[in-house]
Structure formats: C-alpha cells, structure tokens
Amino acid sequence: MCAVKAELTPIEQEILEYLEQSAGEIVSYEDIYRKVWEAEPFRCEKVVAVHVCHLRQKMEEPERITAHRKQGYCFS
C-alpha cells in the first residue's frame, strides 16, 4: 500500500487500491468510474480527475500516479 500523509475518503481509497492492483497499466477513466462508482460512465473524466487530484495531494509520493491524456492513469 502506498504511503499517505492524510486520511483518504472511501472513494480515494478505492481508486488507490484499484490503481495499485493494475500497477504498470494505464487504467481508463471509464474503468475507474465503473469500478469505484459501480455505474456506467457518462462524462466521467472530470469526476475521476478531481478525485485523483485530491488523492495525489494526500500521497507521500504523488508522482506514482501518472496521467495519460485522454486515456487514464497509471500507478508505478
């Protein structure tokens, strides 16, 4: 588990766990949305991006989550 410097919300925790499980792979915005919100994605890019931004602010090493424009995120 990645070290964090502040308590994560349940959504942030789920995103982090999902990205960690898929380490080294680009995970699409849609896949993250389906997994965390358990709903079909509709214009989900901004919703996911805001939560990932908040998650990164709480991480000891935010650079471990990299953004891939118009694709999604990758955890290293």
Residue 2 has pLDDT above 90, yes or no: no
The confidence score (pLDDT) of residue 72 equals 97
Q: Specify the pTM.
A: 0.92
From 65, 50, 67, 69, select the one nearest 20 (Cα to Cα). Answer: 65
Query: Rounded distance, CA 35 to CA 39, Å?
Result: 8
Q: Rounded to a whole number, what is the distance in angstroms from the first to the last CA of the chain?
A: 12
The confidence score (pLDDT) of residue 5 equals 86
Residue 1 has pLDDT above 80, yes or no: no
- For 14-75, the fitting CATH number among 3.40.50.300, 3.30.750.24, 2.60.120.510, 1.10.10.10 is 1.10.10.10
Confidence class for position 56, pLDDT limits 50, 70, 90: very high
Give me the mean pLDDT over the 44-65 stretch.
96
